[in-house]
Each structure stands twice: as structure tokens, then as C-alpha cells.
Amino acid sequence: MFTVEELKQYNRHLILDKIGEEGQLKLKRSKVLVIGAGGLGCPILQYLTAAGVGTIGIIDHDVVDQSNLQRQILYTFDDIGKSKAETAKNRLSRLNPFIEFNVYKERLTKKNALSLFEMYDVIVDGSDNFATRYLTNDATVLTDKPLVYGAIFKFEGQVSVFNFKGSATYRCLYPTPPKPEESPNCSEIGVIGVLPGIIGSLQANETIKIICGVGEVLANKLLMFDTLSMRQMALKFERTKNAEVDKLEEDYEFFCGIKPIGKEISLTDLESHKEKYNLLDVREHWEREEKHIGGQHIPLGELTNRYQEVISEKPLVVYCKSGMRSKAAITLLKKKLSNDITLVNLKGGFN
């Protein structure tokens, strides 16, 4: 059951109506996989650890960057450059030494998703891109696991629970992904620092409700929250034929419109051979004003209507802050321009 120290650790749950010893034991015996140890992952992991979820898996291939510290509150300045998954585990173990952590310092891919999900009771999505969200959805359907979903955008967030006892799935709500140029992530457009804490905490709450069997789970509902107005609303939706999945997609980036880029070049190599290339900056105007490495400037959002302006007599290096918008730009230009032009992505972006 519980040791004396565990009884002390979980006292406020043990005396809580609807949780008590039975609910706490369910938490102790449960296994939860958290995808991502970033903005959403930090509060999810902190509250699930504090609540006493017995086994927590953390999958994240990334390392701590200084720009993360504005919202990813598990990390400190001294953690810059360290593995997020490993650093999170070390810090969380100090919060609750009675938890078993499984650390996966790798990307979630179609090769590992099904085998990983089979090992856990609940999957919590703290990812920040559509390719991973669709992969996660499909893998939870195929392994019959409930999925606790969260997403953030500037000042707004969403929370829902998918595939819970036959409920609707992510594909019921979003049958097709948005165009890459319409879905920048927070590294490109920013996010208010407290928002991941709010949304991640709500995801942890839904996870605890699922495990303990209490309350009304956010299945077939999408909770939307706006930090600027403090308004929230719940949108109801139903399970559709899109919920049926019989296999994983061959390539989720391709499915989301981000085709394999092909050629890439590092900033160092570009600076050594700059005369060989034309440059295209697809960042916003204010980013361009702060600093740039030259070349033509057409923001990604304007490229659909201005692609004919692109100078193409030399191989074209497309750049942005992180390399994501430039990938989307190259995907768009491949559709619009002649195959004669060589398109090259600036690897890692210009930060």
C-alpha cells in the first residue's frame, strides 16, 4: 500500500473526498507518458509527479535553450544545453522520490510510438507541432489509449481529451492539418509565459480525473481559454468517421504539408560561399528590422501572393528564425515555381 513517508507526502489527497486512499492507490499504480518536456510538459510533469502518478515516461529529444526559461519553469540558467528529459527527471525526483521515471531522449516517431504507448495507461500530449499531434492521435487510437491534449497560441490555449471510452478523437476535431504557413509555433510568433502553466495544469487535472475515475472528463469537448480577456468556453463536438484509423501515416510531416526539404546549408557554410546564392528572408518585418543577413524579404504570410517576385537566377537560400517557416516557404515555392530553381533551407535558421 503506502509507506509512512508516502502517507505524509499524499496527506491532502488521502483526506480529500473522491480521491482518498482508493484514488491515491490508482495514481500510484498508473503509468503516464508525457510527450514533450517544454512549455506544456513542465507543468504537466510537475503536477503529475506531485500527485503521485507511480510511473511517468518523459519523451523529448531537445536540450534547454535560454529562450525556454521564460515559460519552462522546471529549468534554470545552469541547465542551458542539457537534455530536457534528463534534467526534468532529476528535478522531479527531488520533488517526489517515490516516482519511477522513464526517460526517452529521442523524438516521437512512427517507429517508436506504438511500442511506447502500449506501456502506458494515459498519453499526455505536450508537443508543439501538427505532425506530432496527428501521429500521437493515430497511435493512441491504434493502442486504445486515452489522449489528453493541449495546445497554445500567443495568448490562447485549448484542452481536450480524445479517444476516451469511445469518444471523439483529434481527427474528428481537425480532419486535416492547416497549411504550414498558417501554423507557426511559439519560437516564431511568441507566447505569453504563463499560458503553458495554465493549459498544462488543466491537462494534468484531466489526467488525474481519468485515472481516479472522478468528475466529468473533457471528452467530446474542447475547452478554449483566452488569457487577455480571461474568457473560457467549451465547444462540443462528436465522434466522426475520421476517428477510424487502421495504420500510421507513412510520413507525418508530408501529411502536414511539410515535405522533405532536400538541400540544407549551415550559416557557417553560407557565409563562406555567399556569392553563390540568392537569399530570401521569410521572417516578419520587425524581425528583419532588428537584424538580417541580406537578401530579398517576403514574409511567409505574403509569399502566396508574392511568389512571382522571388529572384531565381541562382540557387535560393530561404531563411527564418528557426528553420520552420523557411521549410514551409520552400514547400510552397516548390508548388509555385519552376523545377529549375534550386531551393536550399538555412539549417537551424538565423537566430
Q: Annotated active-site positions, please?
A: 186, 320
State the Cα torsion 195-199-204-206 to the nearest 10°.
160
Q: Are strands 156-162 and 147-153 parallel, antiparallel or unpaired?
A: antiparallel
208, 10 in Cβ contact below 8 A? no
Helix (H) or strand (E) run with residue 170 in it: helix 170-173
Cα angle 119, 121, 125 (rounded to 5 degrees) comes to 95
Question: How many other C-beta atoms lie within 10 A of the C-beta of residue 77?
Answer: 8
Question: Distance between CA 123 and CA 125 in Å, rounded?
Answer: 6
Phi (first) and psi of residue 268, to 5 degrees = -60, -45
Element (H, E) at 48: helix 41-51
> What secondary structure does DSSP assign to 37-83, as a single string?
SSTTHHHHHHHHHHHT-SEEEEE---B--GGGGGT-TT--GGGTTSB
Torsion of CA 108, 110, 111, 114, to 10 degrees: 90
Count Cα atoms within 13 angstroms, Cβ side, for 144: 2
Residue 193 in contact with residue 70, Cβ under 8 Å?
Answer: yes
DSSP code for 175: S
Looking up cell 489527497 gives 13
- Residues 349, 346: Cα–Cα separation, whole Å: 5
